Amino acid sequence: MTRVAVICGGVGAARLLNGLIRVTDPAGVTAIANVGDDVVLHGLHISPDLDTITYTTAGAVSGERGWGLEGETWQAMTELGHYGGDGNRNWFSLGDRDLGTHLYRTSRLAEGAPLSSVTAEIAARWGLRFDLVPVTNDRLRTFVTTVDEGEIAFQEYFVRRQHAVAVTAVRFEGAEAATPAPGVLDAIATAERIVIAPSNPVVSIDPVLAVPGVRDALAARRADVVAVSPIIGGKALKGPADRLMTELGREASVVGVADWYRDLIGTLVVDEVDADAGPEVEALGMTCVAMPTIMASVEVTDALARACLAGGR
């Protein structure tokens, strides 16, 4: 059984995990997930990345949206909107079935269970055969500083403003005092292969790396770490990764991704459209492998997963 640790964000990570658990024994896979996106709304603790990974790998995610559950209904949100008030109470959509997950998580946390234990319970309900672990059980929250509004919480930026405002800085509140959840550092230390998923480096992967001990653990295993670039042809397939990199003074390209991870990875997998950038990537001290990385089919996804397991070879 191959032991694999995967540093995860949301949709891109979930799709790559689907491939990994098809091409290797899921029992050897540990997904270490970002919780900087977590938010409390309507009194409920919501963990978007944990839930996207859970629903996707359980085969229950909405194919149209890439998040939430297939066949979802929205009666609770519709009813909430009828109450009026400031008119913005339902800007973050929670489906009726999805609410059950948040109600369960919130009640278990209120009982004193750590987030890692609650995540394992939710994963078991959905039949996941790999380990899904939040990077920390402590409070970790991503904040972005915008040009016009100052600092706002991540979901205010990402969902409410549809990530359409310019960002000048990113901060991970609580990171310095956080400790890795049980099993996180051990998974990294004992993995035969460590994969950084094609997630947003700025707001999906960096919150994970901000938890003390995680970045150092990856750096110590640098030769065994493979990252998949979320930037293809200078653009992000989905979300604001390209704009965030540019706004923060970095190059939105596979070379920019290589530079972002240069102290942590031994191999960067880039899409075949970026093959010509290979020499520039390798000048940063890593191997560059070019292949199809847009996971629009099982065949491409599984081939990408096998390449990651093989260290890009």
pLDDT of residue 38: 97
Q: DSSP character for 273?
A: G
Chunk the chain into consecutive blocks of 10 residues (it has 313) and report each block's average pLDDT, rounded to whole numbers: 92 95 97 97 95 94 78 89 69 91 98 98 97 98 95 93 93 98 98 97 98 98 97 93 95 97 97 97 97 96 96 69
pLDDT of residue 92: 86
CA distance 282 to 280: 5
Given a contact cutoff of 8 angstroms between Cβ atoms, the answer to whether 72 and 60 are in contact is no
pLDDT at 232: 97
Location of structure tokens 């032991």: 3
* Residue 54: both structure tokens together: 């859970």
Q: Which residues pair with 133 in a beta bridge?
A: 32
Q: Residue with structure tokens 């008030």?
A: 85
Which residue, 80, 49, 54, is CA-closest to 69?
Answer: 54
SS3 sequence of 112-174: CCCHHHHHHHHHHHCCCCCEEEECECCCCEEEEEECCCEEEEHHHHHHHCCCCCCEEEEEEEC
With b for 16 or more beta-carbon neighbours within 10 A and e for fewer, the 255-266 pattern comes to: bbbbbbbeebbb
pLDDT of residue 13: 95
CA separation for the pair 162, 156 (Å, rounded): 8
Q: What is the DSSP string of 5-58?
A: EEEE-SHHHHHHHHHHHHHS-GGGEEEEE--TT-EEETTEEE-HHHHHHHHHHT
User: To 10 degrees, what angle do helices 48-57 and 115-125 make?
Assistant: 20
pLDDT at 85: 57
| Cα–Cα distance for residue pair 221/248, rounded to 1 Å | 27
**Residue 229 host element (H or E):** none
11-50 core/surface letters (b: 16 or more CB in 10 A; e: else): bbbbbbbbbbbebbebebbbbbbbbbbbbeeeebbbbbbb
Compute the distance between CA of residue 138 and CA of residue 35 in angstroms, rounded to an integer.
9
Specify the pLDDT at position 256: 97
Q: Which of 51, 37, 193, 207 is nearest to 118 (CA)?
A: 51
CA 145 to chain centroid: 21
- Cα distances from 110 to residues 100, 126, 140, 174, 216, in angstroms, run 15, 22, 17, 20, 32
What per-residue confidence (pLDDT) applies to 88? 64
